[in-house]
Chains A and B, each alone.
Chain A
C-alpha cells in the first residue's frame, strides 16, 4: 500500500485536521515531559481502577467527542445553509454525517452517561467501588480505544460514508470498498465490549453491593434507571455484536449474509441493527430521566412525586423497547398487519413516558424552586422533550410515516428527543455533580449564558427542520433547492448558537477551575437527598468510612435529621480495596492494534494483536493480587482532615 493511499489526501479541511492533530499531540507530549507528568499520568489515571476517576475519564472523553461531533454538525449546517454551496463535496458530506451520528450516539451520549453512572451510582448506594473494578477499567479503555480507532478514520484510510445505520447493501464490500466501513465495524465492536461489560458490572453492583438494609425500592431513582439500563445493555448489545461480526465476515472474509448476490438478505441488517438500535435509544434516555428526577427533586426540595410509578414506568419502557424496532423501517414493504402491530406497540411507549412527565410536574407543583443552572437544564428539558415525544407519536403512525420517513421531520424529531433528553441531562448532571467530582462548583453566571445560548440555539436549529421536512427536504442530501433556503438559514444560525453555548460551557470549566470557591462541606447544594452528598468533598478513595444502615428513601435526608454521618469513629474497620493495574490499558491497546489490522485487512497484524490480547488474558488468569487494606489510622486521618474535625 502506498503512503498516499494510507493517508487521506486532496482535501484542505482534512490537511488542516492532520496539522491540528499533530500540533495537539506534540504539545501534549511536550507538556507531559516538561512538567515530568508521565509517572503521574500512569499512576493516577492509566492504571486506576477507582470508579470515580474512571467516571471522570469517561466524561472528559465524551466532552472531546461532543466537540468532534459538534464540529461535524456545524460543517454540515454550513454546507446546507444556501443552495449550491461548495463548502463540502458530496463524498465529504456523506462521511461527515456518518461520523456525526456514530460519534454522537456511541462515543458521546453513552460514555457521558456511563461516566456519570460510574461516578455517582456506587456513592448513591453506599458501595466502595463497583463489583468488578478491574473490568470497569477494561470497559473504559475498550471504549476509548474503540473511539480512537473510529476517529482516526478521517485522516487514515478515509471515513465510513454509509450513514450511522450502515444499511446494507450500500455498506457492503461491493458498494463501499476500502477500509472506511471497516473502521465503523471494528470501532463499534471494540467499544461494544466495554459497554457490555459495564452493563454486567452495574447490574451486579446495584443488586449485590447496596448499603446494609437498603431495599430495592429505597434506591435513588438514578440508580434505578442505571439498573434498568444495564439490563437493556446486557440484552441488546449482543445483537449488535453479532450483526457487526456478520458484516465484518461479509466485508473482510467474503461471506454473503447481507449481500445482494450469493443469497444474502440486505434488509436483515436493518432488522438486526434496529433490534439493538431501538433499545439503544432507551439506553441513552433512561439514565437521562434518572438524572432529571434527581435534579428536580433536589432543587424543588421535595421528595420525588410518585417514586414507585416512576420505577414501574422505567421498567415498562425498558420492556416495550424490545418490541418496537420495526417502526424504524415501516417503509421497507412489510404488510399492513406487521406495521400495525409495531405502530401500536410504539404508541404504547408514550403512556409510561407521559406518566413520568406528570410525575416531574407533580414534583415541581407547589414547591419552592431553587433556580440553579442544573435545574434550568432540567426545566428546559420538559417542554422540549414533549415536542420531541409528540412528533414521535406522529412518526409512529405507520401510514403517516410513509410521508415523514427519511425527511428532516424525522431529523428534527430525534434531535429533539436526543438533545433535549440526553444532552440536556448530561449538562444538568455534570453541573449538579461537578462539586463532588472536582471540589468546586461551576460558575453559575457563565453557566446561565451557556444554557441560554445552547437552548435557544437548539430550538432555532431544529424547530424549523420539522417544517422543511414537511416541505419535502430529505435527510442526508448535501445540497438544497432554493425553496428550502429560508428555514435552512435559520437552522444554521441556531447550530452556531449551540456551538457558542458549548464554547461558553468549556470556558466555564476553565474559569471555575481558576476562580471558583473550593467546597467546604460534602453537601454542596445544601439540599442533597441521596447518599453521595453524605460523603466529604473531595471524596476519599474508599468512599465511605462506615456504611450507614438505610431504612428510608432519600437516605441522606434522614441522616441529616438524625445528625449521623458516614464516619462513625468508633465503628471504623480496615477497608479492603482493589490494587491499581496497568493490564486493562495494555490489553485494550493490543485490541486496538488487532482492530486496526482488520480494518486494513492486514491479517498478520490482526492475528498478532489478538495473540497478545490472549497472552494478557492468561496473565490476568494467574494474577492472584487480592488488593490491600486501608488501616483504621489512615481512615481516621483522612476523614478528620476531609471533614475538618
Chain B
C-alpha cells in the first residue's frame, strides 16, 4: 500500500508557487508594463512555454517510470494536439470558407438562405478583420 515518505510534497509546492509567479508576471506584462505589443506577445508566449514545462515535469508525471517514461502523457498530448488542430482548423474552415461576400452571387445556397446568410456574413466579416 502506498507509503507516504514525505508529508510535505516539496516539489509540488515549488511548482505551485512558480506557476503563480509566472502568471503574475504575465498579468503585469499585459496590464502595467510599457513594452510594445509585439514584445508583450513574445514575452507571454515564452512564459507560457515555461509554464507548460513546469506543469508537465512537476505535476503531470512525464518522467516517472510508472508512466512508462512519459509514454502515456505524450500519447495523450499528441491526441490532445490533434483535437485542438481539428477544433481550430475545422472552425476556420467551416465558419469562413466558401461564404460568398457578393450578394448577387450565383451560389444557390446563398439565395435560399438569404436571410441567415447575410446575418452570418456580418459576423464572419467582423471576426475576420
A: residues with CB less than 8 A from B are 207, 231, 235, 239, 260, 263-268, 271-272, 275, 322-323, 325-326, 331-338, 402, 576, 624, 626-627
- Do A239 and B87 touch (CB < 8 A)? yes
- Do B120 and A235 touch (CB < 8 A)? no
- Do A268 and B95 touch (CB < 8 A)? yes
Cα A323 to Cα B93 with chains together (Å) = 12
Could you list 23 examples of A-B contacts with CB < 8 Å?
A263-B126, A263-B127, A265-B123, A267-B123, A268-B91, A268-B123, A271-B91, A271-B95, A275-B87, A322-B83, A322-B86, A323-B86, A331-B113, A332-B116, A334-B99, A335-B100, A335-B107, A335-B109, A336-B107, A337-B98, A338-B93, A338-B94, A576-B1
Contacts of A263 in B (CB 8 A): 123, 126-127
Further contacts, 20 of them, CB under 8 A, given A265-B127, A332-B116: A260-B119, A260-B123, A265-B95, A265-B123, A265-B124, A266-B119, A268-B91, A271-B95, A272-B91, A323-B86, A323-B90, A325-B90, A331-B113, A332-B113, A333-B109, A333-B113, A333-B117, A335-B97, A336-B98, A626-B2
Contacts of A333 in B (CB 8 A): 99, 109-110, 113, 116-117, 120
Known: A263-B127, A624-B4, A626-B2. A335 touches B83 (CB 8 A): no
Q: Is B112 an interface residue (CB 8 A)?
A: yes
Give the residue among B83, B113, B117, B127 with the most A Cβ atoms within 10 A: B83
Cα A65 to Cα B61 with chains together (Å) = 40
Contacts of A334 in B (CB 8 A): 94-95, 97-99
Give the residue among A231, A267, A576, A626 with the most B Cβ atoms within 10 A: A267
Interface hits, B101-117 → A, CB 8 Å: 107, 109-110, 112-113, 116-117
Contacts of A337 in B (CB 8 A): 97-98
Determine the residue in chain B with the shortest Cβ distance to A266.
Answer: B123
User: A384 to nearest B CB, angstroms?
Assistant: 32
Cα A275 to Cα B84 with chains together (Å) = 11
Query: Which 7 pairs show the lowest CB-CB distances between chains A and B?
Result: A335-B98, A265-B123, A263-B126, A333-B117, A333-B113, A235-B83, A576-B1
User: A267 to nearest B CB, angstroms?
Assistant: 6
Contacts of B116 in A (CB 8 A): 331-333
Contacts of B95 in A (CB 8 A): 265, 267-268, 271, 334
Cα A140 to Cα B80 with chains together (Å) = 26
- Do A265 and B99 touch (CB < 8 A)? no
Cα A166 to Cα B116 with chains together (Å) = 17
Cα A263 to Cα B117 with chains together (Å) = 16
Contacts of A264 in B (CB 8 A): 123
Cα A272 to Cα B93 with chains together (Å) = 13
Cα A263 to Cα B107 with chains together (Å) = 26
Contacts of B97 in A (CB 8 A): 334-335, 337-338
Cα A334 to Cα B107 with chains together (Å) = 10
Cα A334 to Cα B93 with chains together (Å) = 9
Contacts of B126 in A (CB 8 A): 263, 265
Contacts of A331 in B (CB 8 A): 113, 116
Contacts of A260 in B (CB 8 A): 119, 123
User: A526 to nearest B CB, angstroms?
Assistant: 38
Contacts of A231 in B (CB 8 A): 79
Interface hits, B1-39 → A, CB 8 Å: 1-2, 4, 7
Cα A266 to Cα B124 with chains together (Å) = 10
- Do B90 and A275 touch (CB < 8 A)? yes
Cα A337 to Cα B127 with chains together (Å) = 21
Determine the residue in chain B with the shortest Cβ distance to A629.
Answer: B1
- Do B90 and A626 touch (CB < 8 A)? no
Cα A337 to Cα B93 with chains together (Å) = 10
Known: A333-B110, A333-B113. A271 touches B86 (CB 8 A): no
- Do B99 and A267 touch (CB < 8 A)? no
Cα A402 to Cα B107 with chains together (Å) = 14
Contacts of B86 in A (CB 8 A): 322-323
Cα A272 to Cα B91 with chains together (Å) = 8
- Do B120 and A338 touch (CB < 8 A)? no
- Do A235 and B109 touch (CB < 8 A)? no
Contacts of A322 in B (CB 8 A): 83, 86
Give the residue among A239, A333, A576 with the most B Cβ atoms within 10 A: A333
Cα A271 to Cα B1 with chains together (Å) = 47
Contacts of A332 in B (CB 8 A): 113, 116, 120
Cα A326 to Cα B97 with chains together (Å) = 13
Contacts of B127 in A (CB 8 A): 263, 265
Contacts of B1 in A (CB 8 A): 576, 626-627
User: A361 to nearest B CB, angstroms?
Assistant: 33
Contacts of A336 in B (CB 8 A): 98, 107, 109
Determine the residue in chain A with the shortest Cβ distance to B3.
Answer: A626
Determine the residue in chain A with the shortest Cβ distance to B112.
Answer: A402
Contacts of B99 in A (CB 8 A): 333-335
Cα A231 to Cα B80 with chains together (Å) = 11
Determine the residue in chain A with the shortest Cβ distance to B98.
Answer: A335
Cα A271 to Cα B96 with chains together (Å) = 12
Cα A337 to Cα B98 with chains together (Å) = 7
Cα A193 to Cα B45 with chains together (Å) = 29
Q: Contact partner of B94 among A207, A271, A576, A626, CB < 8 A?
A: A271
Contacts of B94 in A (CB 8 A): 271, 326, 334, 338
Determine the residue in chain B with the shortest Cβ distance to A398.
Answer: B109
User: A274 to nearest B CB, angstroms?
Assistant: 10
User: B111 to nearest A CB, angstroms?
Assistant: 10
Cα A426 to Cα B102 with chains together (Å) = 51
| Contact indicator per residue, chain B 64-95, by CB within 8 Å of chain A (1) or not (0) | 00000000100000011001001100110111
Contacts of A267 in B (CB 8 A): 95, 120, 123
- Do B112 and A338 touch (CB < 8 A)? no
Cα A275 to Cα B89 with chains together (Å) = 12
Determine the residue in chain A with the shortest Cβ distance to B72.
Answer: A207
Cα A360 to Cα B18 with chains together (Å) = 55
User: A643 to nearest B CB, angstroms?
Assistant: 27
Cα A42 to Cα B100 with chains together (Å) = 62
Contacts of B4 in A (CB 8 A): 624
Cα A338 to Cα B99 with chains together (Å) = 10
Cα A386 to Cα B51 with chains together (Å) = 50
User: B42 to nearest A CB, angstroms?
Assistant: 26
Determine the residue in chain A with the shortest Cβ distance to B122.
Answer: A260
User: B71 to nearest A CB, angstroms?
Assistant: 12
- Do A235 and B98 touch (CB < 8 A)? no
Cα A101 to Cα B72 with chains together (Å) = 37
- Do A338 and B98 touch (CB < 8 A)? yes
User: B4 to nearest A CB, angstroms?
Assistant: 7
Cα A333 to Cα B94 with chains together (Å) = 10
